[in-house]
Structure 1
Amino acid sequence: MYAISLGDDGAELRPLEPWHAEEFLAHLDRGREFIGQFIAFGSKATDVESTRAMLQRYADMRAADTASLHGLWLGGKLVGGVLFLNFDAENANCEVGCWLEPAGTGRGLVTRAMRILIDFAVEQRGIHRVEWIAATGNTPSLNVARRLGMTLEGVRRESHPYGGVRHDLEVWSILAPEWRDARARAAHSDH
Structure 2
Amino acid sequence: MFSVSLGDDGAELTPLEPWQAEEFLAHIERGRDFIGRYVGLPDIVPDLPAARAHLQRYAEKAASDTGRIYGIRLDRRLVGGVLFPAMDAAQGVCEAGCWLEPSAAGRGLVTRAVTVIIDWVVEERGFHRVEWHVAPANTASIAVAERLGMSREGVLRESYLYRGRRQDTEIWSVLAPKWRKLRAQQRQAAENRW
Report the Cα offset of residue 160 of structure 1: 2.5
Report the Cα offset of residue 85 of structure 1: 1.8
Report the Cα offset of residue 41 of structure 1: 1.4
Q: Residue 43 of structure 2 corresponds to which residue in structure 1? A: 43
CA distance in structure 1 between the aligned counterparts of 2:54 and 2:85, rounded to whole angstroms: 14
Q: Aligned with 2:166: secondary structure?
A: strand
CA distance in structure 2 between the aligned counterparts of 1:38 and 1:44, rounded to whole angstroms: 13
1:73-123 deviation line (CA, Å, top 9, x unaligned): 001110000001210111100000000010110000000000100000000
Q: Residue 174 of structure 2 corresponds to which residue in structure 1? A: 174
Q: Residue 29 of structure 1 corresponds to which residue in structure 2? A: 29
Q: Percent of counterpart pairs with the same letter?
A: 56
CA distance in structure 1 between the aligned counterparts of 2:53 and 2:164, rounded to whole angstroms: 27
Q: Residue 19 of structure 1 corresponds to which residue in structure 2? A: 19
CA distance in structure 1 between the aligned counterparts of 2:113 and 2:6, rounded to whole angstroms: 7
Tell me the matched-pair count: 191
Q: Residue 120 of structure 1 corresponds to which residue in structure 2? A: 120
Q: Aligned with 1:82: secondary structure?
A: strand
Give 5+ residue unaligned stretches, structure 1: none
Q: Residue 186 of structure 1 corresponds to which residue in structure 2? A: 186
Q: Residue 91 of structure 2 corresponds to which residue in structure 1? A: 91
1:9-48 deviation line (CA, Å, top 9, x unaligned): 0001000000111100000001111111112114232222
TM value normalised by structure 2: 0.96
TM value normalised by structure 1: 0.97
Report the Cα offset of residue 170 of structure 1: 0.6
Report the Cα offset of residue 157 of structure 1: 1.5
Give 5+ residue unaligned stretches, structure 2: none
1:109-141 deviation line (CA, Å, top 9, x unaligned): 000000100000000001000000100001111
CA distance in structure 2 between the aligned counterparts of 1:65 and 1:42, rounded to whole angstroms: 25
RMSD: 0.9
